[in-house]
Structure 1
Protein backbone atom coordinates (compact mmCIF):
# COMPACT_ATOMS: atom_id res chain seq x y z
CA UNK A 1 0.00 0.00 0.00
CA UNK A 2 1.20 3.49 -0.84
CA UNK A 3 0.87 5.81 2.16
CA UNK A 4 1.13 9.50 1.35
CA UNK A 5 2.03 11.70 4.32
CA UNK A 6 1.42 15.46 4.38
CA UNK A 7 3.95 17.05 6.74
CA UNK A 8 3.52 20.73 7.61
CA UNK A 9 6.54 21.73 9.66
CA UNK A 10 10.04 20.24 9.94
CA UNK A 11 9.68 19.24 13.60
CA UNK A 12 6.39 17.30 13.33
CA UNK A 13 7.10 14.24 11.23
CA UNK A 14 5.37 10.86 10.97
CA UNK A 15 7.24 9.40 13.95
CA UNK A 16 5.87 5.98 14.88
CA UNK A 17 3.48 6.02 11.90
CA UNK A 18 6.57 5.28 9.82
CA UNK A 19 7.37 2.32 12.10
CA UNK A 20 3.85 0.97 11.54
CA UNK A 21 4.12 1.42 7.78
CA UNK A 22 7.46 -0.37 7.60
CA UNK A 23 6.28 -3.20 9.88
CA UNK A 24 3.38 -3.85 7.49
CA UNK A 25 5.50 -3.66 4.34
CA UNK A 26 3.89 -0.47 3.08
CA UNK A 27 5.63 2.26 1.06
CA UNK A 28 5.57 5.76 2.51
CA UNK A 29 6.01 9.05 0.66
CA UNK A 30 6.33 12.30 2.65
CA UNK A 31 5.20 15.58 1.07
CA UNK A 32 5.97 19.09 2.36
CA UNK A 33 3.30 21.28 0.74
CA UNK A 34 4.07 24.30 2.96
CA UNK A 35 7.57 24.44 1.44
CA UNK A 36 7.33 22.94 -2.04
CA UNK A 37 3.64 23.31 -2.91
CA UNK A 38 3.49 19.69 -4.08
CA UNK A 39 0.67 17.28 -3.20
CA UNK A 40 -0.01 13.72 -4.29
CA UNK A 41 -2.93 12.91 -6.55
CA UNK A 42 -5.91 10.90 -5.35
CA UNK A 43 -5.08 8.17 -7.88
CA UNK A 44 -1.67 7.54 -6.28
CA UNK A 45 -2.95 7.60 -2.68
CA UNK A 46 -4.00 4.37 -0.97
CA UNK A 47 -3.84 5.92 2.50
CA UNK A 48 -3.45 9.55 3.55
CA UNK A 49 -1.80 10.81 6.74
CA UNK A 50 -2.21 14.52 7.53
CA UNK A 51 0.17 15.68 10.26
CA UNK A 52 0.16 18.70 12.55
CA UNK A 53 1.63 22.13 12.01
CA UNK A 54 1.65 25.74 13.18
CA UNK A 55 -0.84 26.89 10.57
CA UNK A 56 -4.63 26.89 10.79
CA UNK A 57 -7.12 25.44 8.31
CA UNK A 58 -8.61 28.95 8.39
CA UNK A 59 -5.46 30.47 6.86
CA UNK A 60 -5.94 31.78 3.34
CA UNK A 61 -3.17 29.81 1.62
CA UNK A 62 -3.65 28.07 -1.74
CA UNK A 63 -2.00 24.81 -0.70
CA UNK A 64 -4.26 24.50 2.36
CA UNK A 65 -7.32 24.66 0.09
CA UNK A 66 -5.68 22.22 -2.33
CA UNK A 67 -5.18 19.80 0.57
CA UNK A 68 -8.90 19.93 1.29
CA UNK A 69 -9.66 19.20 -2.37
CA UNK A 70 -7.50 16.09 -2.07
CA UNK A 71 -9.11 15.11 1.23
CA UNK A 72 -12.58 15.41 -0.31
CA UNK A 73 -11.63 13.21 -3.25
CA UNK A 74 -10.28 10.56 -0.90
CA UNK A 75 -13.33 10.74 1.36
CA UNK A 76 -15.48 10.13 -1.71
CA UNK A 77 -13.35 7.07 -2.53
CA UNK A 78 -13.42 5.68 1.03
CA UNK A 79 -9.61 5.80 1.29
CA UNK A 80 -8.15 5.28 4.80
CA UNK A 81 -7.19 8.60 6.38
CA UNK A 82 -5.51 9.60 9.65
CA UNK A 83 -5.26 13.21 10.81
CA UNK A 84 -3.24 14.52 13.76
CA UNK A 85 -3.97 17.96 15.22
CA UNK A 86 -4.06 20.34 12.22
CA UNK A 87 -4.66 17.25 10.09
CA UNK A 88 -7.81 16.33 11.99
CA UNK A 89 -8.96 19.94 11.74
CA UNK A 90 -8.47 19.84 7.97
CA UNK A 91 -10.68 16.78 7.67
CA UNK A 92 -13.45 18.41 9.70
CA UNK A 93 -13.10 21.67 7.74
CA UNK A 94 -13.30 19.75 4.44
CA UNK A 95 -16.61 18.30 5.60
CA UNK A 96 -17.97 21.80 6.19
CA UNK A 97 -17.42 22.21 9.93
CA UNK A 98 -15.69 25.17 11.61
CA UNK A 99 -12.29 25.12 13.25
CA UNK A 100 -12.31 27.50 16.21
CA UNK A 101 -10.30 28.44 19.27
CA UNK A 102 -10.45 25.65 21.80
CA UNK A 103 -11.75 26.35 25.33
CA UNK A 104 -8.13 26.09 26.48
CA UNK A 105 -4.68 25.98 24.93
CA UNK A 106 -3.17 22.58 25.69
CA UNK A 107 0.59 22.04 25.34
CA UNK A 108 2.26 19.17 27.17
CA UNK A 109 1.34 15.78 28.56
CA UNK A 110 -2.18 15.24 29.87
CA UNK A 111 -4.76 12.46 30.09
CA UNK A 112 -7.58 11.87 27.66
CA UNK A 113 -10.55 9.55 28.03
CA UNK A 114 -12.15 7.16 25.56
CA UNK A 115 -15.73 8.08 24.67
CA UNK A 116 -16.59 5.17 22.37
CA UNK A 117 -15.61 1.52 22.03
CA UNK A 118 -16.14 1.50 18.27
CA UNK A 119 -12.39 0.80 17.85
CA UNK A 120 -11.64 -2.27 19.96
CA UNK A 121 -8.51 -2.17 22.08
CA UNK A 122 -8.37 1.53 22.98
CA UNK A 123 -8.00 1.86 26.76
CA UNK A 124 -10.36 3.93 28.89
CA UNK A 125 -7.69 6.56 29.68
CA UNK A 126 -4.41 7.52 28.01
CA UNK A 127 -1.60 10.02 28.58
CA UNK A 128 -0.87 11.89 25.36
CA UNK A 129 1.07 14.85 24.01
CA UNK A 130 -1.00 17.96 23.31
CA UNK A 131 0.23 20.83 21.12
CA UNK A 132 -2.75 22.91 20.08
CA UNK A 133 -5.05 25.85 20.77
CA UNK A 134 -7.67 25.33 18.06
CA UNK A 135 -10.36 22.66 17.89
CA UNK A 136 -12.38 20.83 15.24
CA UNK A 137 -16.10 20.12 15.35
CA UNK A 138 -17.25 16.50 15.19
CA UNK A 139 -18.62 15.95 11.66
CA UNK A 140 -22.10 14.55 11.13
CA UNK A 141 -21.89 10.80 10.81
CA UNK A 142 -18.71 10.64 12.87
CA UNK A 143 -18.43 9.31 16.42
CA UNK A 144 -16.77 11.21 19.25
CA UNK A 145 -13.86 8.93 20.14
CA UNK A 146 -11.79 10.73 22.79
CA UNK A 147 -12.11 13.79 25.08
CA UNK A 148 -10.01 15.62 27.65
CA UNK A 149 -11.12 17.60 30.69
CA UNK A 150 -10.31 20.90 28.96
CA UNK A 151 -11.36 20.13 25.37
CA UNK A 152 -14.22 17.76 24.59
CA UNK A 153 -13.48 17.25 20.89
CA UNK A 154 -10.19 15.35 21.00
CA UNK A 155 -10.87 12.57 18.54
CA UNK A 156 -13.41 11.20 16.07
CA UNK A 157 -13.84 8.12 13.91
CA UNK A 158 -15.93 7.96 10.76
CA UNK A 159 -16.99 5.16 8.41
CA UNK A 160 -14.33 2.71 9.67
CA UNK A 161 -11.88 4.58 7.45
CA UNK A 162 -11.17 7.99 8.98
CA UNK A 163 -9.73 8.94 12.37
CA UNK A 164 -8.89 12.47 13.45
CA UNK A 165 -7.09 13.21 16.73
CA UNK A 166 -6.51 16.67 18.21
CA UNK A 167 -3.43 15.41 20.07
CA UNK A 168 -0.36 13.34 19.16
CA UNK A 169 0.14 9.58 19.46
CA UNK A 170 2.82 9.49 16.76
CA UNK A 171 5.89 11.08 18.43
CA UNK A 172 8.56 8.79 19.86
CA UNK A 173 11.07 10.23 22.35
CA UNK A 174 13.34 11.68 19.67
CA UNK A 175 10.35 13.32 18.00
CA UNK A 176 9.19 14.91 21.27
CA UNK A 177 12.65 16.36 21.79
CA UNK A 178 12.59 17.78 18.25
CA UNK A 179 9.21 19.40 18.85
CA UNK A 180 10.21 20.95 22.17
CA UNK A 181 13.67 22.31 21.33
CA UNK A 182 12.37 23.98 18.17
CA UNK A 183 8.91 25.13 19.28
CA UNK A 184 9.34 25.69 23.04
CA UNK A 185 8.05 29.27 22.77
CA UNK A 186 4.62 27.87 21.96
CA UNK A 187 4.36 26.30 25.42
CA UNK A 188 3.60 29.66 27.07
CA UNK A 189 -0.04 30.15 28.01
CA UNK A 190 -0.96 26.49 28.13
CA UNK A 191 -3.57 25.47 30.68
CA UNK A 192 -1.40 22.44 31.45
CA UNK A 193 1.24 24.74 32.97
CA UNK A 194 4.23 22.55 32.06
CA UNK A 195 7.74 23.74 31.32
CA UNK A 196 9.81 22.57 28.39
CA UNK A 197 11.93 20.62 30.88
CA UNK A 198 8.88 18.85 32.28
CA UNK A 199 7.67 17.88 28.81
CA UNK A 200 11.12 16.60 27.86
CA UNK A 201 11.52 14.59 31.06
CA UNK A 202 8.14 12.89 30.75
CA UNK A 203 8.62 9.48 29.11
CA UNK A 204 6.49 8.60 26.10
CA UNK A 205 4.05 5.99 27.44
CA UNK A 206 5.00 2.70 25.73
CA UNK A 207 1.33 1.85 25.25
CA UNK A 208 0.88 4.86 22.94
CA UNK A 209 2.64 2.98 20.15
CA UNK A 210 0.24 0.05 20.59
CA UNK A 211 -2.79 2.35 20.57
CA UNK A 212 -1.56 4.12 17.43
CA UNK A 213 -1.03 0.76 15.72
CA UNK A 214 -4.54 -0.33 16.78
CA UNK A 215 -6.06 2.77 15.19
CA UNK A 216 -4.08 2.44 11.96
CA UNK A 217 -4.89 -1.26 11.72
CA UNK A 218 -8.58 -0.43 12.20
CA UNK A 219 -8.85 2.11 9.38
CA UNK A 220 -6.89 -0.09 6.96
CA UNK A 221 -8.62 -3.39 7.76
Structure 2
Protein backbone atom coordinates (compact mmCIF):
# COMPACT_ATOMS: atom_id res chain seq x y z
CA UNK A 1 0.00 0.00 0.00
CA UNK A 2 1.35 3.42 -0.97
CA UNK A 3 2.39 5.60 1.93
CA UNK A 4 0.35 8.72 2.63
CA UNK A 5 1.49 12.32 2.75
CA UNK A 6 1.26 14.05 6.12
CA UNK A 7 0.17 17.70 5.89
CA UNK A 8 0.70 19.89 8.96
CA UNK A 9 -1.36 23.05 9.43
CA UNK A 10 0.04 25.63 11.86
CA UNK A 11 -2.99 27.89 11.48
CA UNK A 12 -6.47 26.61 10.65
CA UNK A 13 -7.09 29.05 7.80
CA UNK A 14 -3.72 28.31 6.18
CA UNK A 15 -4.65 25.07 4.44
CA UNK A 16 -3.05 23.15 1.55
CA UNK A 17 -5.14 24.77 -1.20
CA UNK A 18 -3.71 23.88 -4.62
CA UNK A 19 -1.72 21.07 -3.03
CA UNK A 20 -4.86 19.33 -1.84
CA UNK A 21 -6.48 19.78 -5.25
CA UNK A 22 -3.50 18.05 -6.89
CA UNK A 23 -3.50 15.20 -4.39
CA UNK A 24 -7.22 14.61 -4.92
CA UNK A 25 -6.84 14.77 -8.70
CA UNK A 26 -4.09 12.17 -8.62
CA UNK A 27 -5.71 9.95 -5.99
CA UNK A 28 -2.79 10.26 -3.57
CA UNK A 29 -3.68 9.60 0.05
CA UNK A 30 -2.99 12.24 2.69
CA UNK A 31 -3.75 13.16 6.28
CA UNK A 32 -4.14 16.74 7.51
CA UNK A 33 -3.19 17.52 11.12
CA UNK A 34 -4.14 20.95 12.47
CA UNK A 35 -1.81 22.04 15.28
CA UNK A 36 -3.95 25.17 15.70
CA UNK A 37 -6.78 22.89 16.91
CA UNK A 38 -4.56 21.26 19.54
CA UNK A 39 -3.89 18.21 17.41
CA UNK A 40 -0.43 16.71 17.73
CA UNK A 41 2.28 16.30 15.11
CA UNK A 42 2.24 12.50 14.71
CA UNK A 43 5.26 10.22 14.19
CA UNK A 44 6.60 10.43 10.67
CA UNK A 45 8.27 7.06 10.09
CA UNK A 46 5.42 5.69 7.96
CA UNK A 47 4.89 8.86 5.90
CA UNK A 48 5.64 9.03 2.20
CA UNK A 49 6.32 12.77 2.57
CA UNK A 50 5.73 15.58 5.07
CA UNK A 51 4.35 19.00 4.16
CA UNK A 52 4.42 21.81 6.74
CA UNK A 53 2.33 24.89 5.97
CA UNK A 54 2.47 28.49 7.18
CA UNK A 55 1.20 30.28 10.25
CA UNK A 56 1.86 33.23 12.57
CA UNK A 57 4.18 31.32 14.91
CA UNK A 58 7.91 31.84 15.06
CA UNK A 59 10.19 28.84 14.92
CA UNK A 60 12.05 30.60 17.76
CA UNK A 61 9.04 30.13 20.06
CA UNK A 62 9.85 28.20 23.22
CA UNK A 63 6.41 26.62 23.67
CA UNK A 64 5.68 22.89 23.54
CA UNK A 65 3.97 23.16 20.15
CA UNK A 66 7.08 24.48 18.46
CA UNK A 67 9.47 22.21 20.35
CA UNK A 68 7.45 19.20 19.21
CA UNK A 69 7.21 20.50 15.65
CA UNK A 70 10.97 21.02 15.37
CA UNK A 71 11.59 17.59 16.86
CA UNK A 72 9.33 15.89 14.28
CA UNK A 73 11.01 17.79 11.46
CA UNK A 74 14.42 16.63 12.70
CA UNK A 75 13.06 13.08 12.62
CA UNK A 76 11.85 13.67 9.06
CA UNK A 77 15.28 14.89 7.95
CA UNK A 78 17.11 12.07 9.73
CA UNK A 79 14.87 9.47 8.08
CA UNK A 80 15.39 11.09 4.64
CA UNK A 81 11.61 11.43 4.25
CA UNK A 82 10.78 14.01 1.54
CA UNK A 83 9.79 17.32 3.12
CA UNK A 84 8.17 20.45 1.74
CA UNK A 85 7.80 23.53 3.93
CA UNK A 86 5.92 26.69 3.00
CA UNK A 87 6.60 30.02 4.74
CA UNK A 88 6.81 28.98 8.42
CA UNK A 89 7.54 25.50 7.04
CA UNK A 90 10.77 26.84 5.54
CA UNK A 91 11.75 28.51 8.79
CA UNK A 92 11.07 25.41 10.88
CA UNK A 93 13.09 23.30 8.43
CA UNK A 94 16.10 25.60 8.64
CA UNK A 95 15.81 25.94 12.42
CA UNK A 96 15.47 22.17 12.88
CA UNK A 97 18.53 21.57 10.71
CA UNK A 98 20.77 23.99 12.62
CA UNK A 99 20.23 27.30 10.83
CA UNK A 100 18.87 30.53 12.27
CA UNK A 101 15.57 32.38 11.97
CA UNK A 102 15.80 36.16 12.29
CA UNK A 103 13.74 39.28 11.60
CA UNK A 104 13.42 39.92 7.88
CA UNK A 105 15.00 43.18 6.63
CA UNK A 106 11.67 43.82 4.88
CA UNK A 107 8.31 42.54 6.05
CA UNK A 108 7.02 41.09 2.79
CA UNK A 109 3.22 41.15 2.53
CA UNK A 110 0.95 40.57 -0.45
CA UNK A 111 1.82 40.65 -4.14
CA UNK A 112 3.48 44.06 -4.51
CA UNK A 113 6.97 44.93 -3.30
CA UNK A 114 8.11 48.23 -1.73
CA UNK A 115 9.00 49.58 -5.19
CA UNK A 116 5.50 48.95 -6.55
CA UNK A 117 6.35 45.89 -8.61
CA UNK A 118 5.26 42.29 -8.24
CA UNK A 119 7.27 40.33 -5.68
CA UNK A 120 9.47 37.97 -7.67
CA UNK A 121 12.05 35.35 -6.83
CA UNK A 122 14.92 34.18 -9.02
CA UNK A 123 16.54 30.76 -9.11
CA UNK A 124 20.21 30.46 -8.24
CA UNK A 125 22.53 28.37 -10.39
CA UNK A 126 21.85 25.47 -8.03
CA UNK A 127 18.12 26.10 -8.27
CA UNK A 128 18.22 25.99 -12.06
CA UNK A 129 19.60 22.46 -11.81
CA UNK A 130 17.23 21.24 -9.11
CA UNK A 131 14.38 18.90 -10.13
CA UNK A 132 11.93 20.91 -8.00
CA UNK A 133 11.89 23.56 -10.73
CA UNK A 134 11.82 21.37 -13.81
CA UNK A 135 9.69 22.93 -16.53
CA UNK A 136 9.58 26.34 -14.83
CA UNK A 137 11.08 29.70 -15.72
CA UNK A 138 14.01 30.95 -13.67
CA UNK A 139 12.02 33.90 -12.30
CA UNK A 140 8.41 33.91 -11.14
CA UNK A 141 5.92 36.16 -9.37
CA UNK A 142 4.97 35.22 -5.83
CA UNK A 143 2.76 36.06 -2.84
CA UNK A 144 4.35 36.81 0.52
CA UNK A 145 3.18 36.92 4.12
CA UNK A 146 6.16 36.88 6.48
CA UNK A 147 8.16 39.00 8.88
CA UNK A 148 11.04 36.62 9.53
CA UNK A 149 13.71 35.07 7.33
CA UNK A 150 16.36 32.37 7.53
CA UNK A 151 20.15 32.19 7.76
CA UNK A 152 21.44 28.99 6.19
CA UNK A 153 24.30 26.79 7.34
CA UNK A 154 27.10 25.92 4.94
CA UNK A 155 25.66 22.52 4.09
CA UNK A 156 22.26 23.90 3.07
CA UNK A 157 21.65 24.81 -0.57
CA UNK A 158 20.14 28.16 -1.55
CA UNK A 159 17.86 27.60 -4.55
CA UNK A 160 16.14 30.98 -5.04
CA UNK A 161 16.66 34.57 -3.94
CA UNK A 162 14.59 37.72 -3.63
CA UNK A 163 15.49 41.40 -3.91
CA UNK A 164 14.31 42.50 -0.47
CA UNK A 165 14.64 39.27 1.49
CA UNK A 166 17.44 37.21 -0.02
CA UNK A 167 16.95 33.62 1.16
CA UNK A 168 13.70 32.50 -0.47
CA UNK A 169 14.00 28.78 -1.24
CA UNK A 170 16.43 26.32 0.32
CA UNK A 171 17.16 22.61 0.33
CA UNK A 172 18.43 20.59 3.26
CA UNK A 173 20.06 17.33 2.22
CA UNK A 174 18.71 15.74 -0.92
CA UNK A 175 14.95 15.99 -0.57
CA UNK A 176 13.92 18.49 2.15
CA UNK A 177 12.74 21.78 0.64
CA UNK A 178 11.60 25.05 2.20
CA UNK A 179 9.88 27.85 0.29
CA UNK A 180 9.35 31.29 1.85
CA UNK A 181 6.54 32.40 -0.46
CA UNK A 182 3.05 30.95 -0.67
CA UNK A 183 2.39 29.08 -3.92
CA UNK A 184 -0.69 27.18 -2.70
CA UNK A 185 -3.33 29.91 -2.77
CA UNK A 186 -6.75 29.35 -4.32
CA UNK A 187 -9.29 32.16 -4.80
CA UNK A 188 -11.31 30.79 -1.86
CA UNK A 189 -8.26 30.83 0.41
CA UNK A 190 -7.41 34.32 -0.75
CA UNK A 191 -10.83 35.58 0.30
CA UNK A 192 -10.47 34.02 3.73
CA UNK A 193 -7.01 35.43 4.24
CA UNK A 194 -7.79 38.99 3.20
CA UNK A 195 -10.75 39.00 5.59
CA UNK A 196 -8.98 37.42 8.55
CA UNK A 197 -5.20 37.84 8.45
CA UNK A 198 -4.06 40.83 10.56
CA UNK A 199 -1.33 41.88 8.11
CA UNK A 200 -3.53 41.59 5.03
CA UNK A 201 -6.34 43.49 6.78
CA UNK A 202 -4.05 46.52 6.65
CA UNK A 203 -4.03 46.39 2.84
CA UNK A 204 -6.76 47.28 0.34
CA UNK A 205 -8.90 44.18 -0.24
CA UNK A 206 -9.99 45.13 -3.73
CA UNK A 207 -6.43 45.83 -4.77
CA UNK A 208 -5.32 42.46 -3.42
CA UNK A 209 -8.05 40.78 -5.47
CA UNK A 210 -6.94 42.67 -8.59
CA UNK A 211 -3.30 41.78 -7.97
CA UNK A 212 -4.20 38.10 -7.62
CA UNK A 213 -6.38 38.13 -10.72
CA UNK A 214 -3.57 39.73 -12.74
CA UNK A 215 -1.14 36.85 -12.10
CA UNK A 216 -3.52 34.04 -11.20
CA UNK A 217 -3.06 31.89 -14.32
CA UNK A 218 0.72 32.01 -14.10
CA UNK A 219 0.69 31.70 -10.30
CA UNK A 220 -1.54 28.62 -10.41
CA UNK A 221 0.49 26.96 -13.16
CA UNK A 222 3.71 27.49 -11.22
CA UNK A 223 2.15 26.24 -7.97
CA UNK A 224 0.79 23.07 -9.53
CA UNK A 225 4.05 22.34 -11.37
CA UNK A 226 6.16 22.94 -8.25
CA UNK A 227 4.07 20.56 -6.19
CA UNK A 228 3.93 17.89 -8.87
CA UNK A 229 7.72 18.14 -9.19
CA UNK A 230 7.98 17.61 -5.44
CA UNK A 231 5.65 14.61 -5.64
CA UNK A 232 7.87 13.10 -8.30
CA UNK A 233 10.96 13.69 -6.15
CA UNK A 234 9.09 11.99 -3.30
CA UNK A 235 8.37 8.97 -5.45
CA UNK A 236 4.66 9.50 -6.11
How far apart in 2 are the matches of 1:28 and 1:214? 15
Report how far residue 216 of structure 1 moved: 1.6
Asked if structure 2 preserves the Cα contact closer than 8 Å seen for 1:99 and 1:137, the reply is yes
How far apart in 2 are the matches of 1:219 and 1:142? 18
TM-score, normalised to structure 2, is 0.84
Aligned position for 2:116: none
SS at match of 2:85: strand
Match of 2:224 among 178, 185, 210: 210
Aligned position for 1:195: 204
Aligned position for 1:186: 199
How far apart in 1 are the matches of 2:40 and 2:121? 35
CA distance 1:105–1:68, change in 2 (3 Å): same
Aligned position for 1:12: 14
How far apart in 2 are the matches of 1:80 and 1:50? 11
How far apart in 1 are the matches of 2:201 and 2:193? 14
- Gap regions ≥5 residues in structure 2: 112-118
Which sits farther off after the overlay, 194-203 or 42-51? 194-203
Asked if structure 2 preserves the Cα contact closer than 8 Å seen for 1:37 and 1:63, the reply is no
Query: RMSD of the alignment, in Å?
Result: 1.8
Aligned position for 1:50: 52
How far apart in 2 are the matches of 1:48 and 1:7? 11
Report how far residue 188 of structure 1 moved: 7.4
Report how far residue 143 of structure 1 moved: 1.7
- Gap regions ≥5 residues in structure 1: none
CA distance 1:131–1:150, change in 2 (3 Å): same
Matches within 5 A, 1:124-163: 124-163=138-177
Asked if structure 2 preserves the Cα contact closer than 8 Å seen for 1:162 and 1:219, the reply is no
Aligned position for 1:30: 32
Asked if structure 2 preserves the Cα contact closer than 8 Å seen for 1:122 and 1:214, the reply is no
CA distance 1:66–1:44, change in 2 (3 Å): same
How far apart in 2 are the matches of 1:149 and 1:105? 12
Aligned position for 1:113: 122
SS at match of 1:88: helix
